[in-house]
Amino acid sequence: MKILTGNSNRPLAEAISAYLNLPLTKASVRRFSDMEVFVEIHENVRGEDVFIIQPTSYPTNDNLMELLVTIDALKRGSASRITAVIPYYGYARQDRKSGPRTPISAKLVANLITTAGADRVLTMDLHAGQIQGFFDIPTDNLFAAPVFSKDIHERMNKEPLTIVSPDVGGVLRARAIAKRLDADLAIIDKRREKAGVSEVMNIIGDVKGQRCILIDDIVDSAGTLCNAAMALKDAGATAVSAYITHGVLSGGAVARVTASPLEELVMTDSIQATEAVRVAHNIRQISVAPLLGEAMRRISDEQSVSCLFD
């Protein structure tokens, strides 16, 4: 078993390497003067079971290209099996036609990864579970729910909790954590007038006197999250926190979060934190390196991955 990383999230790769007690494979992933991606692997990978850790976060296209070129380099180096470990799967929100003459980019990216030569994909909290079906190779979709549940239990065990889904589409995700914590569930009905702008309309469930925890898979502009937090506070919630798997936080999202009623925004390290995220007073990262590392070990040893969530 060998572990390789691109430039997208080296700290996460190093944490996984430390968990597995395996050194990262020596490789160069660099650019030519015209910004072409060039990959050179400095160790023998012939007949090896290789895992490439490369979330396709910002800059999405550069990181995706790094992943594809690295897969090709490994395939031509005669690796026996290549697993693309993509903690954050970019383009996942384009999982269906949103209108006439629009692409399904999540499927296109799946085709590119498969054609490049990946034998397996390991990802986490896909925006839509059916994206697994876009791949014609085995795909494991891990869940951050156990990591979140443990953190919530350790920090907020003695308070009356309500787990809140910020939209109808995230109910299953929120319900899974509510069930683990034996907590109440609430849902926010929102109506989005146009892309990037959301308006909170109604809260389904009683949140008065409760500590509310918003659960979602991606926070991008943070508009929905901050509006939801404000609505919950107005409805009588004592405090509002948020647990999000992938902290994209583009544009002015960090400033929006720091100025919001959110007591704390907790994210995994599936995407490398920017300097603005690191210095924000109410944003905290928790690591999913042990979860990803254990899944990688089980895949390499041909053991069950699903039992991680039993």
More confident residue, 238 or 158: 238
Q: DSSP character for 273?
A: P
Question: Which tens digits make up the pLDDT trace of 201-251?
Answer: 689 999 999 999 999 999 999 988 998 999 999 999 999 999 999 999 999
Give the model's confidence band at 194: pLDDT under 50 very low, under 70 low, under 90 confident, else very high: low
Nearest by Cα to 269 from 284, 252, 286: 286
Instruction: Please tell me whether 34 is known to bind a ligand.
Output: yes
Q: DSSP character for 58?
A: S
Instruction: Please tell me whether 78 is known to bind a ligand.
Output: no
Give the model's confidence band at 200: pLDDT under 50 very low, under 70 low, under 90 confident, else very high: low
- pLDDT value for 122: 98
- pLDDT value for 309: 84
- pLDDT value for 67: 98
Tokens 């690796």 -> residue: 79
Paired with 95 in beta bridges are none
Whole-angstrom distance, CA of residue 94 vs CA of residue 112: 15
- pLDDT value for 35: 93
162: left (phi over 0), alpha (psi -120 to 50) or beta: beta
Paired with 48 in beta bridges are none
Q: Is 190 tagged catalytic?
A: yes
CA distances from 236 to 166, 227, 258 (A): 16, 15, 21
- What's the first-to-final CA gap in the chain, in angstroms? 26
Q: Which residues contact 283 (CB under 8 A, 6 or more apart)?
A: 247, 254, 257, 258, 264, 265, 266, 267, 277
Whole-angstrom distance, CA of residue 217 vs CA of residue 247: 9
Question: Which tens digits make up the pLDDT trace of 28-79?
Answer: 999 999 999 999 999 999 999 999 999 999 999 999 999 999 999 999 999 9
| Whether the predicted pLDDT of 267 surpasses 90 | yes
Nearest by Cα to 148 from 244, 21, 225: 244
Instruction: Please tell me whether 221 is known to bind a ligand.
Output: yes
Rg of the chain on CA atoms, in Å = 20
Nearest by Cα to 39 from 138, 137, 117: 117
| Mean pLDDT, rounded, of the chain | 94
The 10 Å CB-count burial string (b at 16+, else e) for 105-122 is ebbebbebbbebbbbbbb
- Residue 251 CA from chain centroid, whole number: 18
Instruction: Please tell me whether 93 is known to bind a ligand.
Output: yes
- pLDDT value for 199: 66
From the list 26, 75, 97, 190, the catalytic residue is 190
Question: Which tens digits make up the pLDDT trace of 142-156?
Answer: 999 999 999 999 988
- pLDDT value for 29: 93
Q: pTM of the full predicted structure?
A: 0.93
| Whether the predicted pLDDT of 25 surpasses 60 | yes
Q: What percent of the chain has pLDDT over 90?
A: 89
For residue 64, give the amino acid letter.
L
